[in-house]
Amino acid sequence: MATPDPSSGTKPTAPTDSDSRTVAPGPRHPGMGSSGAGLAMRLGTELVVATMIGTGLGYLLDHWLHSDPWGTVVFLFFGAAAGMRNAYRLVQSTPPST
């Protein structure tokens, strides 16, 4: 709400509809859905990052337990499986193209 300015001698005006408008967030690029290249980039990232995290955790576990290379090998497969699961879930949540 506007406060009166004593030096101007005028009354404050009531807020209008244009003052309280809110803009609903829309897509970043109107008219464009998710592109095939963007989906492929995300799929590749999901697979690589999950595998790297699994391998890194296995490596750390190996150093902690002095069990080289078993933790790295096992967690490499766990990370790859997690990446494939994430990729599958991503593909299933993507609407079919027309």
Domain boundaries, the chain: 36-93
Tell me the pLDDT tens digit for each residue of 48-86.
Answer: 999 999 999 999 999 999 998 999 999 999 999 999 999
Interval 2-10 mean pLDDT? 63
* Cut 0.75: pTM above it: no
Reported confidence tier of residue 35, pLDDT bands at 50, 70, 90: confident
Which residues, including other chains, have CB under 8 Å from residue 49's CB and lie 6 or more apart?
Answer: 83
Mean residue pLDDT across the chain:
82
The CA distances from residue 69 to 16, 47, 51, 52, 64, in Å, are 70, 22, 16, 15, 12
Cα(71)–Cα(68) distance, integer angstroms? 7
Cα(54)–Cα(71) distance, integer angstroms? 10
